[in-house]
């Protein structure tokens, strides 16, 4: 059996070829052309078609580096099926170092979009019809918002058995069942029967080495699972699947001191942060309402009432086991920070 034909934007990509090309989107008003860089790796041997995408939010840069590290090795070869790498989806946002499109829309709320719609709607529609709809699976790489960091985590529809299995195979510390947001890529992909994992790690506009390495390893784990890369002997650490999660918000405006960090265990009643006035007095404390693990937090120490400060995930397993598991993953991926290299 041969690979089914693959045509992207009128270009037929033949089995056994690696092709780099530009998918044109709307020009800038300066008359400069704008296009999405696409890299397709296609084996002669049949197998699934998978996309990996990054920077749908233009200020989320870790994913660009994750894709670069996966495909830049000259020895990188896909052994079956097809890999479509799209390192910069919101190319306008990356140029402006902004999460949004120039029309101030969120590209990840503009799916499925339309060829005649707003700028965001057109880009969403082109990415959906030319790339996503042609794939069986996809991995979409994100980071926290500006001034917010996420512990490496996969968000996916865990009610779907295969997606759940893939989410766990990715091998990052935490897996969360995430509701599908209206207008998101995941919502549109559910209609094209493309199973999508969403990877969230690190902070906008920054590289975070742990998040990048965990992402590279995760992408490779998924490709290995489908036989698209050679299997390795390394055993993946098991991951922890959260039952639910919650953002804790500030009840006062001020300057805050954080008492916890990403990956920490917190118990009901623990103080997560103290919010103070610029004159020194504590005006409010953010308190954990139940036991859980910090999977996201605000980094800038200035907060306004109502702002989301800590994202805490809740598990049925013992929280101590999860903290140990997170530390193990960290040690495995960043031995230089855990003293592994100087021993």
Q: Where do contacts with Zn ion occur on this chain (CB under 5 A)?
A: 57, 60, 142
Q: Find the shortest distance in angstroms from Cβ 57 to Zn ion.
A: 4
Q: Find the shortest distance in angstroms from Cβ 12 to Zn ion.
A: 32
Alpha-carbon Rg for the chain, nearest whole angstrom, is: 21
Give the whole-angstrom CA distance, residue 272 versus residue 85. Answer: 39
Q: Which is nearer to Zn ion, 106 or 264 (CB)?
A: 106
Q: Which is nearer to Zn ion, 63 or 112 (CB)?
A: 63
Give the whole-angstrom CA distance, residue 3 versus residue 80. Answer: 9
Q: Find the shortest distance in angstroms from Cβ 292 to Zn ion.
A: 23
Q: Which is nearer to Zn ion, 4 or 95 (CB)?
A: 95
Q: Find the shortest distance in angstroms from Cβ 294 to Zn ion.
A: 19
Q: Which is nearer to Zn ion, 130 or 203 (CB)?
A: 203
Do 216 and 222 meet the contact criterion of CB atoms below 8 Å apart? no
H or E segment at 309? strand 308-314
Alpha carbon of 302 to those of 47, 255, 275, 283, 294: distances in Å?
A: 50, 5, 9, 13, 19
Q: What is the dihedral of CA 211, 220, 128, 63, to 10 degrees?
A: 20
**What's the token pair of residue 287?**
């308190």
Q: Find the shortest distance in angstroms from Cβ 142 to Zn ion.
A: 3
Give the whole-angstrom CA distance, residue 143 versus residue 14. Answer: 34
Q: Which is nearer to Zn ion, 186 or 265 (CB)?
A: 186
């Amino acid at each position: 059996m041969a690979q089914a034909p693959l045509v992207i934007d009128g270009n037929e990509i033949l089995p056994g070829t690696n092709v780099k090309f530009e998918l044109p989107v709307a020009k800038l008003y300066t008359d400069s052309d704008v296009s999405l860089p696409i890299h397709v790796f296609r084996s002669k041997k049949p197998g699934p078609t998978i996309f990996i995408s990054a920077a749908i939010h233009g200020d989320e840069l870790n994913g660009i580096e994750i894709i670069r590290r996966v495909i830049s090795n000259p020895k990188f070869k896909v052994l079956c099926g097809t890999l479509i790498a799209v390192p910069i989806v919101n190319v306008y946002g990356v140029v402006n170092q902004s999460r949004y499109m120039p029309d101030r829309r969120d590209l990840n709320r503009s799916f499925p979009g339309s060829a005649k719609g707003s700028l965001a709607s057109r880009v969403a529609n082109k990415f959906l019809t030319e790339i996503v709809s042609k794939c069986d699976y996809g991995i979409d790489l994100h980071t926290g918002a500006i001034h917010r960091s996420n512990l490496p985590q996969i968000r996916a529809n865990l009610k779907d058995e295969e997606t759940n299995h893939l989410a766990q195979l990715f091998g990052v510390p935490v897996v969360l069942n995430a509701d599908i947001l209206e207008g998101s890529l995941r919502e549109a992909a559910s209609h094209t029967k493309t199973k999508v994992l969403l990877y969230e790690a690190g902070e906008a506009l920054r590289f975070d080495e742990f998040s990048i390495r965990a992402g590279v390893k995760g992408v490779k784990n998924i490709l290995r699972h489908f036989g698209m890369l050679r299997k390795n002997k390394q055993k993946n650490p098991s991951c922890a699947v959260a039952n639910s999660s919650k953002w804790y918000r500030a009840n006062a405006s001020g300057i805050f001191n954080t008492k916890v960090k990403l990956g920490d265990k917190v118990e009901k009643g623990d103080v997560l942060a103290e919010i103070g006035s610029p004159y020194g007095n504590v005006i409010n404390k953010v308190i954990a309402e139940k036991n859980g693990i910090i999977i996201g937090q605000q980094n800038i120490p200035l907060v306004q009432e109502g702002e989301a400060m800590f994202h805490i995930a809740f598990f049925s397993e013992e929280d101590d086991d999860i903290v140990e598991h997170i530390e193990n993953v960290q040690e495995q991926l960043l031995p230089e920070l855990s003293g592994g290299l100087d021993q």
